[in-house]
Each structure stands twice: as structure tokens, then as C-alpha cells.
Amino acid sequence: MWKIYWRRLKRNKLALSGLSIILFLTILAIFAPLLTPYNPLEQNLLARLSSPSKEHWFGTDDLGRDVFSRIIYGTRISLTVGFVAIGIAIIIGTIIGLISGYFAKKIDLILMRFVDIMLCFPAFFLILMVIAFLEPNIYNVMIVIGLTSWPGLARLVRGECLSIKEREFISAAKILGLSTIRILFVHILPNVLAPVLVSATLGVGSAILIESGLSFLGLGVQPPTPSWGNILTSGKDYIYLAWWLSVFPGLAILITVLAYNLLGEGLRDIFDPRTFEG
């Protein structure tokens, strides 16, 4: 099946483009120390607010730090936040969705009403409220985004579980006396991985966008640690004098989120059985 999915992915040019961009960004994040010409924290007041040139490809900021190096290192922050936050959301959402869908009745009623309450709150403002009471740093940002991003995934897994548990192979597993844990995680979970993977891919882009917004507001990754959001924060103070401080980190956010969205939409088409053609 995975060979078939790979062939379908190769035929989807937009999804393949998104995957290529993501792999390129991952390589940049891993090998950032080898690819950056300057230390992202090194200040040079004599070169502050220098425009893009051969020495500084993306110019310098108000403290003379190389913007290109800071954006490359910011890739590490953004991808780490995206992966860890969505990893937390996947674990919580999948477990709650499986329990709710499999047991149904009172357990389903209680869990889904809790999910409905969570979905009533605007996610970004809920995150802002929680971060305001915590110390703003990358760890708290990852945890809070993860703890507020699972409700939609839980409902998705629940819907898939409600359908799968009525199939013959689940009835056979029950007749054989297999434990509930084994049925949930060995027989049902593999059959809901496709929509979970699609939702997770789209969620990484959303998490990166949220982290950038929090850092822009001063509630995310704190200076001097380079983040696309806090680079934009310094850019807004010099928007007419140093356009590169806003354009380049803004493009980095745009391209990254777009890449994950393209890949997520492509995976949705690839895993859709209604369009399955081998």
C-alpha cells in the first residue's frame, strides 16, 4: 500500500513540491551551524541596519546581527515547535478519540461535550491567556499549543473509530477474546492513521503560524534567541527604513506554512479511497 501511496504522491506535483520544501527546510535546520556565515547572536553596531549585500545577504538588524543567519536558526525553532506541539496534540487527540468512539454512550457523551467546550474558545486567544500567566519561552509555547490543538483531531479519530468498530474484523477480535487495549491500538489505530497524518501535516503549519504570532507579540520565543516572529517584531519598528527585516522572515513563514498545507492537501487526496486508482 505504501508503494501505491508513493506513486500517487509522485503524480501530485503540488504535494511533491510541498514535501521538497519541507525536506529542504529540515536540512537547513539540521545543518544551520555549517550554512550560516555569522553567529546569529553576534552584534556589530557599525553595520546596523545594513541593506542586503554580498556580506549580508538579507541585511542586518538594529543591532547589526546578520538576518540571514538568524532566519536559518529561526527555522530550527519553528520546525521544533511545529513537530513537538502537534506530537502532543496527536497523542491526546488520538487517545481521547479512540476511547470516545469505541466505548460510546456515557463516556462518549462526557468526552465530546468537553471537546465542544474546548472548540468554543478561539484557540489563539486561549493560548494568549495561558501564556500570559506562564513564563514566555519555547517550552511553554510548545506545550500550550499542543494542549489546545487536539480537540479537532479527537473528533476526527472518534468518527473513524465509530465506523471501524462495526466491521467484521473487530467483531472477530472480540469473539477471540482479545483485550480492549489490543483491539484499540493494534486493530483500530492503524486504520485511522491516514486521516491523522493528514491532520497532523496541516497542524504543523498552523502551529508554526501560532508560534510566530506569539513571538511577534513578545509572548513566544524570547530574544536574543532568533525566531521568525521576533525578527518581525524588530522589523515593524523600522518598516520604512529597513524593509528586509519584515520581508524575509515574512516570506519564510509564508513558504513554510504553504508547504505544509500543500503536502497536507495532497495527502488527503492520496489517502482518499474514493479516488483510489492504484
End-to-end CA distance of the chain: 9
In this prediction, residue 278 carries a pLDDT of 46
Q: What are the structural domains, with CATH classification, of the chain? A: 39-45+57-275 (1.10.3720.10)
Please classify residue 44 by burial: count the beta carbons closer than 10 Å to its beta carbon, then call 0-12 exposed, 13-18 middle and 19+ buried: middle
pTM of the prediction?
A: 0.86
Question: pLDDT means per 10 residues in the chain (278 residues)?
Answer: 74 87 92 88 86 88 89 90 92 92 86 87 78 79 88 90 86 86 87 87 90 85 85 84 89 93 86 57
In this prediction, residue 121 carries a pLDDT of 77
- Please list, residue by residue across 91-129, b when 16 or more beta carbons sit within 10 angstroms of its beta carbon and e when fewer do: ebbbbbbbbbbbeeeeebeebbeebeebeeeebeeebbe
In this prediction, residue 122 carries a pLDDT of 78
Nearest of 167, 185, 204, 205 to residue 94 by alpha carbon = 185
Are 101 and 158 within 8 A, CB to CB?
yes
In this prediction, residue 274 carries a pLDDT of 57
